[in-house]
């Protein structure tokens, strides 16, 4: 089975930093795009940042110039460096990856991590 494991969340004060990691494992033939989403209570799940296999990245306006998404293709791992954190960044953050499993006939699928809590509070 394909599995995504997130780590690096926690509680920080406004202005602080955290780095989230997402490691993909399993019978993976290739990984295409990887992305971070977040969801606060009572809201929909929104895209935070996305990165292609080649390293092209896009960000939500609310996190531009504060967050940086990156990936290590050799490790099947994605990162989100979060700086200058604000209370409104508080949410459950989800890793998403679009990948092609072995023996899928070339089909790609989207997989989700379990979510990890980020709390920014004074």
Q: Exposure string (b/e) for 14-32, b if CB count within 10 Å is 16 or more?
A: eeeebebbbbbeeebeebe
First to last CA, the chain: 40
Q: What is the pLDDT of residues 8-37, one digit of tens each?
A: 999 999 999 999 999 999 999 999 999 999
pLDDT of res. 1: 82
Query: pLDDT under 70 in the chain at which residues?
Result: none
Map tokens 């099947």 to a residue: 76
pLDDT of res. 49: 98
Give the span between the Cα atoms of 7 and 81, in whole angstroms. Answer: 12
pLDDT of res. 78: 96
pLDDT of res. 23: 97
Give the span between the Cα atoms of 122 and 120, in whole angstroms. Answer: 7
């Amino acid at each position: 089975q394909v599995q995504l494991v997130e780590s690096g969340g926690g509680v920080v004060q406004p202005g602080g930093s955290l780095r989230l990691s997402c490691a993909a494992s399993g019978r993976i033939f290739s990984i295409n795009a990887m992305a971070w989403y977040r969801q606060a209570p009572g809201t929909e799940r929104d895209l935070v940042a996305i990165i292609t296999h080649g390293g092209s990245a896009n960000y939500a306006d609310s996190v531009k110039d504060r967050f940086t998404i990156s990936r290590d293709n050799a490790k099947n791992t994605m990162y989100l460096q979060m700086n200058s954190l604000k209370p409104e960044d508080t949410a459950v953050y989800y890793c998403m990856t679009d990948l092609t499993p072995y023996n899928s006939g070339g089909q790609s699928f989207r997989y989700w991590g379990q979510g990890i809590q980020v709390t920014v509070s004074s």
